[in-house]
Amino acid sequence: MAARGVGLLTRLPLHSQRRSRVQRSISRHLCCPGTVAANVGSEEQPLGGAETGSEDKIPKKRFSEVQEERREQAQRTVLIRCPNNVNEKKFLKYLSQHGPINNHFFYESFGLHAVVEFCQKDSVDSLQNGTHTPKQRTDPVIPFKSRFLNLKLKNSSNQIPQQSYAQTNKQLPPSSKKLFELLNYAENIDDQLNTLLKAFQLTEENVRLRHLTCSLIEDIAAAYFPGCVIWPFGSSVNTFGKLGCDLDMFLDLDEIGKLDVHKNAGDFLMEFQMKTVPSERIATQKILSVIGECIDNFGPSCVGVQKILNARCPLLRFSHQASGFQCDLTVNNSIALKSSELLYIYGSLDSRVRALVFSVRCWARAHSLTSSIPGTWITNFSLTVMVIFFLQRRSPPILPTLDSLKSLADAEDRCILNGHNCTFVRDLYKIKPSGNTETLELLLKEFFEYFGNFAFNKNSINIRQGKEQNKPDSSPLYIQNPFETSLNISKNVSQSQLQKFVDLARDSAWILEQEDKSQPSLSSKQPWGLATLLLPPGAVSTPLSKKKKKPMNEKVKGLLASIKSSTTDSSKGTHGKRAISTQV
Ligand code: GTP
Ligand code: MG
């Protein structure tokens, strides 16, 4: 496997290296004593090693520890809309009147914003106490106080010339052009997969912004439900998030009861008066409805609120403009949080897992196999489970089955949710690393071969047992829900979408089979390796993209067999490249 870290870090543009130096010096100046200055910037150690794809040496924390720490960090943080010409030093000095700042960064989303994390929560209160409610506006405003603030310049000495504007941090993945450049410069296909991971994974800053957004929404929900918690789940926290992915969050009302102090002394027990409702579902709909109104009417920067209350899992969908996130809010969706924890564990166990999942997800997106709009196509969640299943099937396995993670669990790990057994070991150090040393290049090719030839018509995918099983119904694609085991997570997928996936998987296996094993000269502009797989449909000529005369399965098998047998054919490695259009 290629050495990690060869990709982006060594090629950081000069200005971002300079930014890191400036930021470090400012933070050192302002940092609170006794606090580890976890300064933002990819080279610093994040709170959760696995979360932002940091290297294997970083201790791997439990999912719940990472979430608690991130939540606490977000509570000490404010979001500030700033004028473009703000003087960074003066701005930080001004804020540090309220207490020491642990770190900060700037980014653009409908204007310049700063995320500022204080060392202590008291500083946020102090800042809010010194903040004015705007008056004399042309449009009337609702005087709602939050941790999303607006910075105004009182005099011109706080302004600076354009060339000295604060450096902003990017919150989106690289353009296709940039990505193809990065991939072309990689040393080999393994390096390409790791490069893609580094380019697309959530940055430390983006993770902070996601937790801060949840925290800001939590403040709104807490107006109705004091003590509630809003947790992020899904790809924001499961280690498989791509820059630009949505922000899934759920309102946890179970946390409220945990704060109650039960005074059992005496003959009485006091309870809160509650209103009863006919069902849990109606309770969920009512809660979401009222919070939806609140977010819509008072939530700064929350726009386009949609109440999708009749869905199987009722939700609120809205955009948080200041962070740029598309948000989905659900209630008491604790099984989904448990799924996120399970994926976090799988993503943290072996450095190849995330690299493979990211490449497969990007490949699926490039070929419109996935979409941000719900429909009959495969989802990223299903694709991730398919990669996990494939890695469980290797010899020796790269990932353990869910049943074996359950067998390693102790009493503290026991977890039953809505009657479903969601128990698995949560301490990553109790799981033995795999002895499998296969390269990413081989794994990617074999992933495509495996699913290009999978008997989807009769078998289901089951990560609990790590085995193919007979399908219990006629859904084209059956992937057993890991916890609610009678459900299929890919029930929505149509036969034609599955066929498209299979055809593309076979095409991609064929392309990789022909690839040179080494990188072409650096001067070559020809996409190669992984880049070839990400090209738009039609850009690569494969036998399979031409008119199909034979059934797909036989044809690919025949091609692969003929390629394997002609080992002395030196032209085979370049054949695929010659057929590629260089247009990206
Ligand atoms: P992105 O496409 O990057 O947003 O991936 P994601 O994993 O966040 O997927 P998505 O936003 O669609 O769903 C969020 C989370 O909900 C997933 O990570 C799963 O934990 C859960 N989830 C999504 N779809 C299903 C499903 O069909 N069944 C079950 N049980 N859980 C699901
Ligand atoms: Mg999501």
Residues of the chain where predicted confidence (pLDDT) is lower than 50: 1-31, 33-51, 53-56, 517, 543-584
Q: Using an 8 Å Cβ cutoff, are 518 and 406 in contact?
A: no
> From the CB of 532, is ligand 1 less than 6 Å away?
no
> From the CB of 341, is ligand 1 less than 6 Å away?
no
Nearest CA to ligand 1 atom 13: 234
Task: Give the three-state DSSP class for 191.
Answer: helix
> From the CB of 333, is ligand 1 less than 6 Å away?
no
Residue 244 φ/ψ region, left for φ over 0, alpha for ψ in the -120 to 50 degree band, beta for the rest = left
pLDDT score, position 553: 45
Give the integer Cα–Cα distance in Å for 461 and 471: 9
> From the CB of 336, is ligand 1 less than 6 Å away?
yes
The owner of tokens 């059956």 is: 478
Nearest CA to ligand 1 atom 20: 336
> From the CB of 339, is ligand 1 less than 6 Å away?
yes
**What per-residue string of b and e applies to 230-245 under the rule 16 or more CB within 10 Å gives b?**
bbbbbbbbbbbbbeeb
pLDDT score, position 284: 96
pLDDT score, position 333: 86
> What pTM was computed for the model?
0.84
pLDDT score, position 521: 52
Give the integer Cα–Cα distance in Å for 368 and 497: 10
Which residues, at least 6 apart from 95, have a Cβ–Cβ distance to it below 8 Å? 101, 116, 127
> From the CB of 505, is ligand 1 less than 6 Å away?
no
- The beta strand positions in 73-224, using DSSP E, are 77-82, 101-108, 112-118, 148-150
Report CA(309)–ligand 2 centroid distance (Å).
Answer: 18
Nearest CA to ligand 1 atom 23: 381
Give the integer Cα–Cα distance in Å for 512 and 535: 13
> Order of strands across the sheet with 148-150?
101-108, 112-118, 77-82, 148-150
Cross-strand bridge partners of residue 101: 118
N-terminal to C-terminal alpha carbon distance within the chain:
28
pLDDT score, position 161: 64
> From the CB of 381, is ligand 1 less than 6 Å away?
yes
Give the integer Cα–Cα distance in Å for 480 and 469: 10
- From 381, 385, 477, give the residue whose CB has the most ligand 1 atoms within 8 Å, as the site to mutate: 381
- The beta strand positions in 241-381, using DSSP E, are 247-252, 302-308, 315-320, 325-331
pLDDT score, position 37: 34
pLDDT score, position 496: 97
Atom of ligand 1 nearest to the CA of 483: 30
Give the integer Cα–Cα distance in Å for 439 and 423: 31
**Burial of residue 275, with CB atoms counted within 10 A of its CB: 0-12 exposed, 13-18 middle, 19 or more buried:** exposed
Task: Check the CA dihedral 374-378-379-382 and report its sign.
Answer: positive
CA 3 remoteness from chain centre: 24
What is the bridge-based pairing of β-strands 416-417 and 112-118? unpaired
pLDDT score, position 156: 65
The tens digit of pLDDT for each residue in 235-289 reads 999 999 999 999 999 999 887 666 556 566 678 888 889 899 999 999 999 999 9
pLDDT score, position 162: 62
Amino acid at 115: V
> From the CB of 245, is ligand 1 less than 6 Å away?
yes
Task: Give the three-state DSSP class for 201.
Answer: strand
Give the integer Cα–Cα distance in Å for 186 and 191: 6
Atom of ligand 1 nearest to the CA of 484: 30
> From the CB of 20, is ligand 1 less than 6 Å away?
no
Cross-strand bridge partners of residue 242: 201
pLDDT score, position 160: 64
pLDDT score, position 45: 42
Atom of ligand 1 nearest to the CA of 491: 27
Q: What are phi and psi of 311, to 5 degrees?
A: -70, 165
- What's the token pair of residue 369? 């196999």
Task: Give the three-state DSSP class for 283.
Answer: helix
Q: What is the DSSP string of 526-569?
A: ---THHHHHSPTTSB--GGGS---S-HHHHHHHHHHHHHH-TT-
- What's the token pair of residue 335? 């099984």
Comparing CA positions, the residue from 549, 554, 561, 551 lying closest to residue 513 is 561
